[in-house]
Amino acid sequence: MKGKLTNSDDNFFEAKPISDSAVSIDIEKVKSLDQASIVALKKVISDENLNLEVKLISSIKDLDCLVEINKFYIQIVITGISSDEAIIPLKRWYKKNSAPQLILAMSIDEENGLIEFPGLITEKEFKNLIKEPNPKNKYVNIPINSFKGGINRLLSMIQILDLEALSREGLRESKIRINLLENLIFHRKKLSLGLLILAGIFATPSLFKPRLVYNLASISANKLEPIYTRSSSEENNIKICLLSPNSSFDGTKNIVNLSFDKPLIFPKTKVEKIIISKNGKIIWSREINSNKKSYKPIQWPIKPVEPNEEYLISFAQNSISSEEYLDITLKASPQKSFKKLSNEIKKIGSSKSAWIKNINNKLKKEQDMALALLFSEKAPDSKVIEKAKSTVINNNKCL
C-alpha cells in the first residue's frame, strides 16, 4: 500500500544517489527540448524495466513542460548541462488544485545529445523555497543544487507514494517574499544555453531566449550615416548596413570604439568595394562579387590593431566611382582595456560547450568579440556553431 509523505520518507529520498551516467538520445530526431525530455524519460523508464506511461500535458517550448506519470503531475524545467540555476515558470503554480506536484530538473547538452536529471523538488519544498511569490512575477530561479536525488528520487516517489501525499493546491496570490536571497543574487556563471534572468527578477523578471541561435537572430546591423565631405550628395547617398564592427554616429562621423585587435568586417547590404586606410594612406582594398545574394564576414585582413591606433574603413556600392562610399572611423581602446583575440581563444580551449557559452555570454556587451569568435577559424566543428553562423549570415535586420 502506498504511504504518505513524512519527514523520514523525505530524508530517505534525499539520500538517493544522483546517477553518474547521462541519458543519450538522437538529438537530430527531436524537434524541441520538451520532446527531448519525453524521449529521455521514456528511455530511463524502459532501461529500468518499469511499466510507466509518460504523457505530455503542456509545454513552454525549450523552457519547461508538464507531464503525467502514474497519475502524478510533474513540471520538467530545462537547463543547460553546466547550469547553476533552473528557471521555474510560475504560471502553472497559480492554477488552484491544478498545480504540479513535483518539479524535475533536466540538464541537456544539445551538442552531444546527452541528458541528465540532477534531481527534483516537491511542491512543499518549492513553497518553502520561495515563500508566497507575487503573481506578477512570471519566473523564479532556483539553484540546481536544490534539486535532490536524481531520476531515482522521481521513480521512487511516483511508485511508492499515495497521490494525496503531494498536493496540487498551488501558490497563493499574495505579496512577494523570496526566501533565497543569497542564492538568487544575479550570478556571473549563467546557463550555458543562454538562459538568463535579469537582476530585477524580484520585481519584473525579464527572460532571454535560451539558446545561442535565438540570441543571434535578435541582433541588428547598424545603418551607416552618410557624411558629405567629398563629392557625394544627399540625393545620391548610399545605404549600407554594417553588422561588424558595431558603429554609432557621434553627430559628425560613424565611429567604432574597438576593444580588441581583430574585428570582423561584415556589411549586411550590397557593397562592391571595401578600403582600409590609415593616416590618409590606403593599406588594403578588396572588390566584392556583386552577384552574391548574401555576404560572409571578412576576417581582419591586415596586421592586428594596436592599442590607441585609428583606421578608416570605407564601403563603396559603385566600385567605378570612388565618390559613392560610406566611412567608419575605427578607434582602438588604450592598452589597459585592449584585448587580443588569440588570448581570448586560448582561454576558451577546445570544448564545444565552452565556445558556445563564451560566445553567448559576450553577445550582450561585446557583440563584435562574440561575432569574431563565432566566425573564427579556431572555432570547433559544431552543429550549434554552424547553425549560429547561418543565422547571422541570413539575418537582415538593420536599425
Q: How confident is the model at residue 342 (pLDDT cuts 50, 70, 90)?
A: very high
Close Cβ partners of 399 (under 8 Å, ≥ 6 residues apart): 220, 221, 222, 223
> Quick one: average pLDDT of 138-147?
89
Share of the chain above pLDDT 90, in %: 42
Would you state the pLDDT for residue 289?
72
**What number of H helices and E strands is found in the chain?**
10, 18
What's the Cα-to-Cα distance from 132 to each of 94, 135, 145, rounded to whole Å?
11, 9, 21
CB atoms within 10 A of CB 384: 19
Q: In terms of DSSP H, where are the helices of the chain? A: 7-14, 33-47, 123-130, 150-160, 181-184, 212-217, 341-348, 352-362, 367-374, 383-393
Would you state the pLDDT for residue 177?
44
Q: How confident is the model at residue 284 (pLDDT cuts 50, 70, 90)?
A: very high
Residues 346-388: tens digit of each pLDDT: 999 988 888 988 898 898 889 999 999 999 999 999 888 988 9
Euclidean distance between CA atoms 99 and 173, whole angstroms: 13
* Mean pLDDT for the chain overall: 80
**Residue 94 above 50 pLDDT?**
yes
Euclidean distance between CA atoms 223 and 225, whole angstroms: 6
CB-CB contact of 356 with 210 (8 Å) = no
Q: How confident is the model at residue 2 (pLDDT cuts 50, 70, 90)?
A: low
Q: Which of 10 and 49 is assigned the larger pLDDT?
A: 49
Residues 46-73: tens digit of each pLDDT: 988 999 999 999 887 667 899 999 999 9
Q: Which of 243 and 4 is assigned the larger pLDDT?
A: 243
Strand partners, 258: 332
Would you state the pLDDT for residue 238?
66
Q: How confident is the model at residue 237 (pLDDT cuts 50, 70, 90)?
A: low
**Residue 21 above 70 pLDDT?**
no
Share of the chain above pLDDT 70, in %: 77
Would you state the pLDDT for residue 16?
39
CB-CB contact of 306 with 332 (8 Å) = yes
Would you state the pLDDT for residue 178?
42
Q: Which of 63 and 86 is assigned the larger pLDDT?
A: 86
Q: How confident is the model at residue 389 (pLDDT cuts 50, 70, 90)?
A: very high
**Residue 143 above 80 pLDDT?**
yes
Would you state the pLDDT for residue 292?
59
Q: Which of 295 and 26 is assigned the larger pLDDT?
A: 26
Would you state the pLDDT for residue 213?
78
Q: How confident is the model at residue 206 (pLDDT cuts 50, 70, 90)?
A: very low
The amino acid that residue 209 corresponds to is K
Euclidean distance between CA atoms 122 and 147, whole angstroms: 9
Helix (H) / strand (E) element for 142: namely strand 139-143
List strand residue ranges (DSSP E) for 262-324, in order: 266-267, 273-278, 281-287, 310-316
Would you state the pLDDT for residue 141?
85
Would you state the pLDDT for residue 360?
86
Would you state the pLDDT for residue 44?
92
34-38, 62-66, 121-125, 350-354: range with highest mean pLDDT: 121-125
Q: What pTM, to 2 d.p., does this model score?
A: 0.53
Euclidean distance between CA atoms 55 and 175, whole angstroms: 34
Close Cβ partners of 307 (under 8 Å, ≥ 6 residues apart): 332, 333, 334, 335, 338
In three-state secondary structure terms, 47 is helix
81-85, 250-254, 269-273, 366-370: range with highest mean pLDDT: 366-370
CB-CB contact of 170 with 97 (8 Å) = yes
